[in-house]
Structure 1
Amino acid sequence: MNHGVQLDKLFYSNEMKHYEKLESRLSFIRSCMDEVDLESVNETDLQTAEADINNYYCRMVHLNMINKETSSKLEVMKEDLRMLEETDSFVNSVSSDTHLIQLDFITGVIDRKKKFLMKRVLHEAMRRNLVVKTRDIEDMHKVIFIVFTHGTDAIGKLKKIFVSLGGRILDSNRYVEPKKNLLALTSVISQIESVEEHNREAMNKEIERINKRFATWNYFLNKEMKIYSTMNKMTFDSGKDCLIGECWIRKHDLYPLKCLAEKAENSGWGFAYESLDLKDDLPPSSFTINKYTEVFQNLTNVYGVPRYGEINPALFTIFLFPMLFGVMFGDIFHGLILMGLSIWFMKDYENLCKKAKFMKMLFDGRYIMFLCSCTSIFFGFLYSDFANIPFNFFDSRLGESFNPIPFGIDPGWHHSPNSMVFINNVKMKFSIIVGFFHMSLGIGISICNALYHQNKLELYSSIIPQTIGFTAFLGYLVFLIIYKWLVTFDHPSLISTLVSMFTNPLKIENEMYPGQLYVQLGLLSLLLVSIPWMFFSKPVYLISRNKVKKDEMMDLWMEQFIHTIEFCIGLISNSSSYLRLWAVSLAHSQLTSVIHQQTIGREAPLILRLVLFIPYIIFTFMLLIGLEGLGSCLHALRLNWIEFHSKFFKGDGYLFEPLNFKVINEDD
């Protein structure tokens, strides 16, 4: 109810600022801890939790400050020690060189990535009147420079160059009695390391105490912030001295709400509610999900949240997505590998998420992976394909007329000279059939949505003409495919038949079935009628009923024109989009064949084949399971989102987010 009101003017803005400050302090404490127990919530009160957060925050800030200071001092001391050691070593090594002994020198340290830049700048600035010695410090990623030159001005210039490039110069007093200074530095470093160790132990003890309380603090802070955030959405009635707000609630929660109101009234609290009939407002969408269906619902919500009262596409995604994946990834061997991985992910999900948090998204898709593996195995049997090896589950009956195998492609076709032509032809036509039934299901759902919402205008002006045009075009093509498979085999190609239906509709050169001319003329007439029906019906109806303003008529006609053009283009583009099922399946089988032929399928001695088995497994997992599997997922997702959802899905809803005090882990 306070939408658009500035944050500072909200009734509980000060309380929110207070808890946001506590939240930032709790986040700082969390950053100091490796692992946090968010489950063990203990009984306490809010004041105690706030006091504990502030107390431990101050302690952790103090300990962190000490740790940074000691670490910084320790790094400087170790750099000084290394520079002093290297300086003493260099000086001793060149003690016989009279030219270098007569020169002045400075010792400095700089980041290793600036090593070559430093050399270049020194040589250009000093006109090469210097000698540079360097030594890398491996464990610090630093470089020690010892630069010999002549003159006080030159030394001053060198110091300025070092400082400008972020380097640090060793104090010249350290050069006096280097052995004594080395011992003194070693002693100081030892003392600082001791202080650092004690500080680390103190911090670990604090973290142990914090870890026992952190879940409690997090819970209470999360609870208070949600309460005040919710109350900020309400308006304060100064006359009645109460807060008034509007909310959505599930129907099955109305009875618990009634009981809560009665309990509050008996306890002396002022609490009342009434049910409102908000017909003009679109309610939020609420879904009952579990760990199996959650990932499918998330896939749908990424594209768009289903509108309230709309059929949820996630229900169909549960079986349609794996089915489309299986069409492209159909291989018994690879399906079994995928099934093994998915079972492993399901069995050790918690441990895998802890060990490899960056792969949590992959582990969350374990149930999708399992269903996809099942469909891959099924279509592998349908294609008689086991890692590019014909799977002869049924004895081949390729030469027998009218006696095919009970299921799938005859394995004998894989050994036939025209196997590629036949199998590709079958897969291409099968992909068209899958696309037809996939989109037909979407059209059927759109009819159900229109009937449920009693949207007769949408039904008669859009859905019915689209269904007629879709069936007359793609439905007829599917009929021709199945008819030619079952009845005929020596007639012209289906493409030429379909093209001639539009280019020369009054003439049939080679009739496939009796009455083909009249059937095609009737279908072509229905297709041509559906287009103007779709374009004119809705605008004419709205204008005749005076439901459109004069200045909005042009927008209405333009919108309907765009929808009609989209439908006409979609008849071709959506149908051809399903050819990716055939293309990806072909690519998968060809890649499998190449990997097999170049490794274990070669005619070579047994020992060489055993050696080549290692790259075979590597390529199988990396290219076929990883790369091809990901590609098949993306293509299946695209077909679900675009071709299927476009037939019925509005996707303009928003999620129902009830007030609850569940703490969400940052890793989730």
Structure 2
Amino acid sequence: MKHINFFFDCGITMQSEDMELINIYLQKDTLKSVLTDLGNEEIIHFTNLNKKISNEDLLFNKQIMYVEKYKSRLLFMMDELEKLEIEVGDQNVKEMEIERVYMELEKKYNIFMELNEIKKETKANMELLSEIHKILEETEAFLGVNSNAELETIEKNNMKNIKLHVKFIPGIIDREKAMMLNKVLIGAMRRNVIINSKEVTVNGKEKIFFIIFTHGESSLYRAKEICLSLGARIIDPLDKRFNKDEKSLLSISSLISQLEVVQKNNISAIKNEAIAISNKIYTYKYFIEREIKLYKTMNFLKISSGESVVGEAWIRKSQLNELDKIINFIGKSHGRIAYEIVSHRDLTPPTFIKTNAITQSFQDMTDIFGVPSYKEYNAATFSIFTFPFLYASMFGDVGHGLILTLIGIFLIYRYNAMKGKQEILDMLLNGRYMMLFAGLYSIYFGFLYSECISTPLSLFPSQYSESGSKYIRKGGYIYPFGIDPVWHHSKEGSDFSNNLKMKLSVVIGFFHMSLGLVIAFMNSSYKNNKSKMLFQDLPKLLSFYSVIGYMIFLIFFKYVTAIDQSIMSIVVSMFTPPFKVEEPIYPGQIIIQRIIVAVFLISVISFHISQPIYLIIQGAKDSLDLFLHYVIEGIEFAIGLISHISSYLRIWAVSLAHYQLGNILFSYLIDVSWMYYIVTVPLWALFTFFLIMALEGVSTALHAMRLNWIEFNSKFYEGEGYSFRPLQFNDEESDDEE
């Protein structure tokens, strides 16, 4: 058990790969070229030797900032391509010098900025002329005469004609500001103002045209200032450029048409430039990101005042021979380079778990909870089996499982064609094997529950024969597999199914948690941590089996012997006075139960005090803190015995809800007259897909994930590691040290 590392044909890895720490010696003048070659091989994970130095003082920080400037230009152009809905042309990276990348990026960025500025100015001029045209058009329509600064007569509120020298201001304002303009003008001008307005559409936007009448130059000036302060567009009626005759309107319309042609040509030029850039965007992106990663890695290294450079890096032990070949090749190309293997006793190596298309999604699910610590048993390996099993125990149905299986097969088959289309679709594609396994397990549990599309499934002859209103059991015959479908039709069927699924969920929880406790033993054994095995893992295992294990024994015993006592009352009476057994269900029950209680108490007490005492004997300080830590941990575990096993009752609850929902849909939409099928069958299919397969399917997955993360992982999983991230240029992840 000193070195357990299983590799199955399907790529399942029980533990992370062995790592070696190396010191690598480089030359300053060829540093960048050597790192480029090492990055192309993707085998070395550099550690940061300059953690104590602030970012501002790092040697290559200025170079990183310089490259970041071009990266921002690149991101700007990528955003422009997305806005213009232009797909990236050539996705192959072409060899190019970094200086040429900088030059081309700068040139194309300046062209883009210039064209966008012209586009922006042209659009602003078009909007200005369109608004002026609309103001003149509406003013002429309102007045019905060629404009004069003096309006002879205004009739308002059925008053008599009063001859005045009246000034007016026409304009346009945003719809949401029109009411504010009206209030401010009336309040500021002391009612020495008349405002007429109407809704208009300019440049596809809802606006308000207004014309303000007032008396006196000072009032006219004040009205203009108020309009401008609220962002209104106004014109001066005395300005000869804005005479409202037909010739003036046609002139403005002609200018607008000319600007539209200019704008169209400008947009076409931008699009052509974007298409040209799209063919090189991946090349630019690759070299810019490569340059940033190179400088960040160079900041990890120790550079002396001379020519020598020292780096510290992790490498997979299995790739040491490959590293030798790479070092020899680089030495011939770039000069002296060497490495040596050093001890890593005081350092924690990174975690590298080899995955494939099948195991990757399960590993990702585990890494969200926490990356496995170095060489601890990988929780994802067990999740490949436990996650779909737990899912299926709640979603068990032959029909629904078959649908889920077919969806998984379809996503596997169409993976390459559908990948990268949409973010949500990519999430489904990443979980395609999860769906396949969950579907297959669901079919199995569907046969076990004898349910298909939430209706009873009859595979074999029933072991009961109907006699009037009763069912009589046939002698010498037992239903071969699953629940006899006759139970679904009986009055007691619901109680029987609930009772069975409730007990089954507790049994599943027992074996699931037992596996976690056994793996904790395996982790301690691999690390040769005998004190943890003896003083922590063993007491946990004994206390778990003495309470939960005995309860599971009683469940099986009750089903075999058909006793009529409550299992919970038996378990509770074990730990409560007077500790007696009123009606023994097997010989020697009282003695066995007292032994179980004694084992439980000794285990709990041992867990609380044995490990801190051992650590104090070994020279550990802060004895009070140690005792408090293990007392709290012991209390948490004792409470968790009940709360965690109770959490598995969600299997029963979700399974029951799944059956009831499907049964209701079937009863109301399928189990009706065939004349309604043209309406009910499509509705049933729609509700089945969205309510059961989608919504309830996601809910069930979350429940199964929680049981794996909390109830299972908490028994053994540290999850305090960090991922092995070799220097490479084909991904978008940061190379920063975790």
What TM-score does the superposition give when structure 2 sets the normalisation length? 0.84
Q: Which has the higher helix share?
A: 1
Could you tell me how far 1:655 is from its partner in structure 2? 0.5
1:184 aligns with 2:247: no
1:141 paired residue number: 205
Could you tell me how far 1:98 is from its partner in structure 2? 5.3
- 2:184 and 2:676 map into 1 onto residues whose CA distance is 57
Does the 8 Å CA contact 1:339/1:373 hold for their aligned counterparts?
yes
Secondary structure (helix, strand or coil) at the match of 2:81 reads coil
Does the 8 Å CA contact 1:342/1:366 hold for their aligned counterparts?
yes
Gaps of 5+ in 2: 1-48, 146-150, 465-471
For residue 496 of structure 1, the aligned residue among 569, 573, 583 is: 569
Does the 8 Å CA contact 1:112/1:141 hold for their aligned counterparts?
no
2:617 paired residue number: 544
Residues 474, 43 of structure 1: alpha-carbon distance in 2 compared, 3 angstrom cutoff:
same
Secondary structure (helix, strand or coil) at the match of 1:143 reads strand
1:75 paired residue number: 127
2:309 paired residue number: 243
For residue 27 of structure 1, the aligned residue among 45, 69, 75 is: 75
The one-letter code sitting in structure 2 at the alignment partner of 1:416 is S
- 2:353 and 2:707 map into 1 onto residues whose CA distance is 23
Show the 5 A alignment for 1:197-596.
197-239=264-306, 241-267=307-333, 269-398=335-464, 399-401=472-474, 403-488=477-562, 490-504=563-577, 506-545=579-618, 547-549=619-621, 552-596=622-666
Show the 5 A alignment for 1:78-227.
78-92=130-144, 99=155, 105-114=168-177, 130-137=194-201, 140-152=204-216, 156-170=221-235, 172=237, 173=239, 176-227=243-294
Secondary structure (helix, strand or coil) at the match of 1:503 reads coil
Could you tell me how far 1:616 is from its partner in structure 2? 2.7
Could you tell me how far 1:512 is from its partner in structure 2? 2.0
| Further displaced range: 530-539 or 220-229 | 220-229
Residues 78, 413 of structure 1: alpha-carbon distance in 2 compared, 3 angstrom cutoff:
farther
- 1:656 and 1:130 map into 2 onto residues whose CA distance is 76
Does the 8 Å CA contact 1:283/1:308 hold for their aligned counterparts?
yes
Does the 8 Å CA contact 1:328/1:582 hold for their aligned counterparts?
yes
| Further displaced range: 15-24 or 630-639 | 15-24
2:32 paired residue number: none
The one-letter code sitting in structure 2 at the alignment partner of 1:503 is T
Residues 38, 516 of structure 1: alpha-carbon distance in 2 compared, 3 angstrom cutoff:
farther
- 2:325 and 2:425 map into 1 onto residues whose CA distance is 45
- 2:424 and 2:203 map into 1 onto residues whose CA distance is 28
Does the 8 Å CA contact 1:424/1:582 hold for their aligned counterparts?
yes
| Further displaced range: 449-458 or 476-485 | 476-485
Does the 8 Å CA contact 1:30/1:36 hold for their aligned counterparts?
no
Does the 8 Å CA contact 1:306/1:652 hold for their aligned counterparts?
yes
- 1:521-555: CA deviations, max 9, x gaps? 1111111111101011011112223x212xx1111
Could you tell me how far 1:23 is from its partner in structure 2? 1.3
Secondary structure (helix, strand or coil) at the match of 2:208 reads strand
Could you tell me how far 1:165 is from its partner in structure 2? 3.7
- 1:322 and 1:435 map into 2 onto residues whose CA distance is 14
The one-letter code sitting in structure 2 at the alignment partner of 1:300 is T
- 1:155-201: CA deviations, max 9, x gaps? 55554444444433355447622433321222111111111111122
Secondary structure (helix, strand or coil) at the match of 1:555 reads helix
- 1:576-610: CA deviations, max 9, x gaps? 01111111112222222333334334x5x544443
1:644 aligns with 2:708: no
Q: Identity percentage over the alignment? A: 38
- 2:204 and 2:525 map into 1 onto residues whose CA distance is 72
Residues 48, 378 of structure 1: alpha-carbon distance in 2 compared, 3 angstrom cutoff:
same
- 2:314 and 2:561 map into 1 onto residues whose CA distance is 59
- 1:70 and 1:574 map into 2 onto residues whose CA distance is 68
Does the 8 Å CA contact 1:83/1:144 hold for their aligned counterparts?
no
- 1:632-657: CA deviations, max 9, x gaps? 11111111110100000001110111
1:18 paired residue number: 66
Residues 37, 462 of structure 1: alpha-carbon distance in 2 compared, 3 angstrom cutoff:
farther
Residues 169, 318 of structure 1: alpha-carbon distance in 2 compared, 3 angstrom cutoff:
farther
Secondary structure (helix, strand or coil) at the match of 2:340 reads coil
- 2:507 and 2:245 map into 1 onto residues whose CA distance is 87
Could you tell me how far 1:427 is from its partner in structure 2? 0.7
- 1:171 and 1:532 map into 2 onto residues whose CA distance is 94
1:40 paired residue number: 92
| Further displaced range: 523-532 or 266-275 | 266-275
Does the 8 Å CA contact 2:137/2:244 hold for their aligned counterparts?
no
Does the 8 Å CA contact 2:400/2:693 hold for their aligned counterparts?
yes
The one-letter code sitting in structure 1 at the alignment partner of 2:480 is P
Residues 530, 112 of structure 1: alpha-carbon distance in 2 compared, 3 angstrom cutoff:
farther
- 1:225 and 1:362 map into 2 onto residues whose CA distance is 32
The one-letter code sitting in structure 1 at the alignment partner of 2:400 is H
Does the 8 Å CA contact 2:398/2:442 hold for their aligned counterparts?
yes
Does the 8 Å CA contact 1:326/1:373 hold for their aligned counterparts?
yes
Does the 8 Å CA contact 2:139/2:211 hold for their aligned counterparts?
no
- 2:293 and 2:318 map into 1 onto residues whose CA distance is 23
Residues 182, 237 of structure 1: alpha-carbon distance in 2 compared, 3 angstrom cutoff:
same
The one-letter code sitting in structure 2 at the alignment partner of 1:479 is F
Could you tell me how far 1:662 is from its partner in structure 2? 0.7
Does the 8 Å CA contact 2:200/2:209 hold for their aligned counterparts?
no
The one-letter code sitting in structure 2 at the alignment partner of 1:13 is N
- 2:705 and 2:583 map into 1 onto residues whose CA distance is 40
- 2:664 and 2:573 map into 1 onto residues whose CA distance is 40
Residues 567, 308 of structure 1: alpha-carbon distance in 2 compared, 3 angstrom cutoff:
same
- 2:398 and 2:233 map into 1 onto residues whose CA distance is 65
Residues 508, 291 of structure 1: alpha-carbon distance in 2 compared, 3 angstrom cutoff:
same
- 1:412-453: CA deviations, max 9, x gaps? 111111222111111111100010010111111111111100
Q: Alignment RMSD, CA only?
A: 2.7
- 2:661 and 2:334 map into 1 onto residues whose CA distance is 75
Gaps of 5+ in 1: none
Residues 496, 291 of structure 1: alpha-carbon distance in 2 compared, 3 angstrom cutoff:
same
Could you tell me how far 1:210 is from its partner in structure 2? 1.4
- 1:405 and 1:121 map into 2 onto residues whose CA distance is 87
Does the 8 Å CA contact 2:129/2:256 hold for their aligned counterparts?
yes
- 1:617 and 1:120 map into 2 onto residues whose CA distance is 58
| Further displaced range: 402-411 or 344-353 | 344-353
Does the 8 Å CA contact 2:516/2:716 hold for their aligned counterparts?
yes
Could you tell me how far 1:340 is from its partner in structure 2? 3.2
For residue 699 of structure 2, the aligned residue among 624, 627, 631 is: 631
